[in-house]
Amino acid sequence: MSNTAPDIYLATVLLERNRWAETKTPTFRVSDWTERIHEAGFDGIELWENHYVGTDADERCALQAVDSYVRLFNTYCGFGDSPAERTARQYAAEAIASLGVHGCKFNIGPDREGWSTEIANLRAWQQTLPESCQLLCECHPGTVIESPDDAGAFFQEADLRNWGIIVHLANGTINDLTSWFDAFGDRVAHCHAVLGRNPDDRQRLLLMRERGFKSTISIEFTRGVAQPNEQIDALFSSAIADMAVVRETWLS
């Protein structure tokens, strides 16, 4: 059992008011926040794709700097055959290469009939990425691989060279979380933490520790997100408090 807490990242989508808007136009520049994020104690940043591809050249250059602390790239590019999806994959690949991130979060769609097409495009897309960049599957509810069994079948067929699974503290039961570790073991390579939705958040974190999780955790969302009076500074303060809960629980 590890007595060292995993690195904890701030997911910039947490701070973005337009995260679920139709246009998803960024409302702030992440580079204006990198120093604050570092000083608050976060080990890095999980960068929402629109905070890079949806901004200007100066901001992209600032985010490429070594001290920007961008560690993961969060993309929602699709893996179908449409021109828009192909373009989105190209933009995401260019961003990943420019940022030098060690991992990229992605999702698969909800349609089982599109499985083979998505696998083919995912494999082709991975060939355009740096070998050091690990593909991290969110396996999100509402996708075709939201269960460990379906995800296992998908990745067996996909035969990717460097991939991992993201687990979610906010989804399902503790038994559901256990099932991902039972199915994938060390392939569980990242965690999205949304604290305060379950009374057993502490038990979930301790379960991860007991199962030997040594990878990374992002504070993905927090209290106050999507509220009518949402304020970015309040969200940031809440995310800092959540980071402290994770560390204190892990080291308890």
Domains plus CATH for the chain?
7-250 (3.20.20.150)
pLDDT in tens, 92-115: 999 999 999 999 999 999 988 889
Q: What is the pLDDT of residues 6-52, one digit of tens each?
A: 999 999 999 999 999 999 999 999 999 999 999 999 999 999 999 99
Please, which pLDDT band fits residue 3 given cuts at 50, 70 and 90?
confident
* pLDDT, position 4: 86
Q: CB neighbours of 194 closer than 8 A, spacing ≥ 6?
A: 168, 169, 170, 220, 221, 222
Query: How many Cβ atoms sit within 10 Å of the Cβ of residue 29?
Result: 15
How many other C-beta atoms are found inside a 10 Å radius of the C-beta of residue 155? Answer: 20
In the structure, what pLDDT confidence band is assigned to residue 82 with cuts at 50, 70 and 90?
A: very high
User: Mean of the per-residue pLDDT values for the chain?
Assistant: 95
pLDDT band of 127, cuts 50, 70, 90: very high
Distance CA 60, CA 161 (A): 28
Provide the pLDDT for residue 198. 86
Question: Which tokens go with 33?
Answer: 């926040």
Average pLDDT over residues 233-251: 97
Element housing 219 (H / E): strand 216-219
Token pair belonging to 96: 């990943």
